[in-house]
A and B are shown apart, each in its own frame.
Chain A
């Protein structure tokens, strides 16, 4: 059974009586361990698709099943709990909390679990170790470079060992060198740690690293290209 099963998903927004369609009947399946790249021009609906997968937005029609759970039917409260357990989110602008250290930022999602302080510390240090920032735990975001900030954000996304990693333009705000490091890290998470990743990107270099690529245009899937196969 596929890990992600999106069936005939439609999403539209209402603005002043006018329906603005964003996604129109999208069907996608993703297997566990896949690294899927989503490409498309601005306004094609790729970020909306990612938000639907993360359960932070709801489809107008259609069903979204992730693992065993039909998430479009969960209540707001249940959805928050589900996100905490199953989703790791990586943002374009890192979205670290500026007043918290790298360690505290990574620890945040663990505060929703029943882990002890010691267990949380072990998890955080493991995650920071994987992203290569074990020595920066006491640094604040402003004391880190953009690439380092994004790696802290990735550590935060993986610290709960989620089912699915979602990345929204993870290299969109980085220079080529940092972007390369972040992409290598994502690839390693996919290949070495068998993480399922869905990544939205503009950047063809980033798209190359995905195992599978989908193009969205005006809310519909236009072609499916297998990279490197």
Chain B
């Protein structure tokens, strides 16, 4: 191994690349999923039209709202009013700061209780929009990604011009990629006459089942409820699945290359050490011990590559990027998330590559007739 530093280093390097790609693609999937999952609160339920898969394809009638809000499972604020926000989500096109190309940004019209229903929302700069005005708040991830979305600027969408009066954060949730304004002003601006969803805070998370049963059972409503967390997890599924499948495919092809690299190195090792193998066999070492020794060497070499690959991938952790969510066709900003489980997965993957690459050479090592191996110089 020491004598063949070159090939060994190349093999470890190849495996490092594969593991880095593996960890990074899964970090994208992980980060994207995380962003959408934290969007949901366990105490919240989202009410959509029956069988609607996303807010953008759902409809909630104005007349539905008081019926749902009157249900006993809905939590109430100190003022005795239900903690519920009836909302409208419209996709608007704004030029991206980076390349000036228009991109889809979700604009969300919300009710007056929206900030109490989503308690992870915090205005970090400026103030909340005042109800009844054309003021908007912008999620932190959207600031700087799109033109016109900075504090104090004005932006035109729908049939109106809007003033940005506040920037909010939402614990990295998908809301941070959105623009929020008063639903009662957004509705006429987009010529809509109805909501798309209601998000309600339940008095207790355990009340979800009875809440949903009441909503779906009411003959006046054509609605159903989902836990907010389940809804956002489902929203992330299409894209994470694509990323995972694509990532696995790319990783697999690279892995095949790396396995052949490892195999080549180990075959060279076997050829180089044929006489050593013969000597060990003559001393009484069994064939299976020889296989084990070469497998161990190959796996150790691969593990070095795996550690290297993880180190290579690590700097992207927390780096943020954006993509179009397949479920809403709008841009969602998210961060790469490298979790310990992902790193462990990368290391295990590298060792598996080492084992696969080392197996055939190891078996060959054990099968060389001892007498012939001893004649090798």
Chain A contacts to B: CB under 8 angstroms: 48, 51, 54, 56-57, 76-77, 80-85, 87, 89, 91, 93, 95, 97, 99, 108-109, 112, 156
Closest to A108 in B: B283
Query: Once the chains bind, are A109 and B283 in contact (CB under 8 Å)?
Result: yes
Given contacts A56-B374, A57-B369, contact A112 B284 (CB under 8 A): yes
21 contacts between A and B (CB under 8 A): A48-B371, A54-B282, A56-B281, A77-B287, A80-B281, A80-B287, A83-B282, A83-B283, A84-B283, A85-B284, A87-B284, A89-B282, A89-B283, A91-B279, A95-B278, A95-B282, A97-B279, A99-B2, A108-B280, A108-B283, A109-B284
| Minimum Cβ distance to chain A for residue B168 (Å) | 63
If over half of A's interface residues share one DSSP class (helix, strand or loop), that class is named, otherwise mixed; here it is: helix
CB distance from A27 to the nearest CB of B (A): 21
B276 at the interface (CB under 8 A from A): yes
Report B-chain residues with C-beta under 8 Å of the C-beta of A77. Answer: 286-288
| Chain A residue, CB-CB nearest to B290 | A80
Set of chain B residues within 8 Å of A57, measured between Cβ atoms: 369-371
Which residue of B276, B283, B286, B371 has the most chain A CB atoms within 10 A of its CB atom? B283
Counting from the closest, the 9 A-B pairs by CB-CB distance are A84-B284, A56-B370, A80-B286, A83-B284, A95-B279, A57-B371, A51-B371, A89-B282, A109-B283
Query: Per a CB cutoff under 8 Å, which of A51, A80, A89 touches B285?
Result: A80
B122 within 8 A of A: no
Residue of B nearest to A56 (CB): B370
B-side interface mostly: helix
Q: How far, in whole Å, are A85 and B284 apart by their CA atoms in the complex?
A: 8
Q: Which residue of A lies closest to B279 (CB)?
A: A95
Chain B: minimal CB distance from A207 (Å): 22
Q: Does B317 contact A (CB under 8 A)?
A: no
Minimum CB distance partner of B284 in chain A = A84
Residues of chain A within 8 A (CB-CB) of B286 are: 77, 80-81
Q: Contact partner of A76 among B283, B285, B287, B377, CB < 8 A?
A: B287
Please name all residues of chain A whose beta carbon is closer than 8 Å to the beta carbon of B96 when the two chains form the complex: none
Q: Is B371 within 8 A of A56, CB to CB?
A: yes
Residues of A within 8 A of B284 (CB): 80-85, 87, 109, 112
Contacts of B281 in A (CB 8 A): 56, 80
Q: How far is the CB of B316 from chain A (nearest CB, A)?
A: 38
Residues of B within 8 A of A48 (CB): 371
CA gap between A112 and B293 in the complex, in Å: 14
Which residues of B, 325-356, contact A by the 8 Å Cβ criterion? none
Shortest Cβ distance from A94 into B: residue: B279
Residues of chain B with a CB closer than 8 A to A109's CB: 283-284
Given contacts A56-B374, A77-B288, 6 further A-B contacts (CB under 8 A): A51-B370, A56-B370, A80-B287, A84-B285, A87-B282, A108-B280
Q: B357-377: which residues lie under 8 A (CB-CB) from chain A?
A: 369-371, 374, 377
Least CB distance, A105 to chain B, in whole angstroms: 10
Closest A residue by C-beta to B372: A57
Residue from B2, B285, B371, B374 in contact with A91 in the complex, judged by beta carbons closer than 8 Å: B374
* Chain A min CB distance to B7 (Å): 17
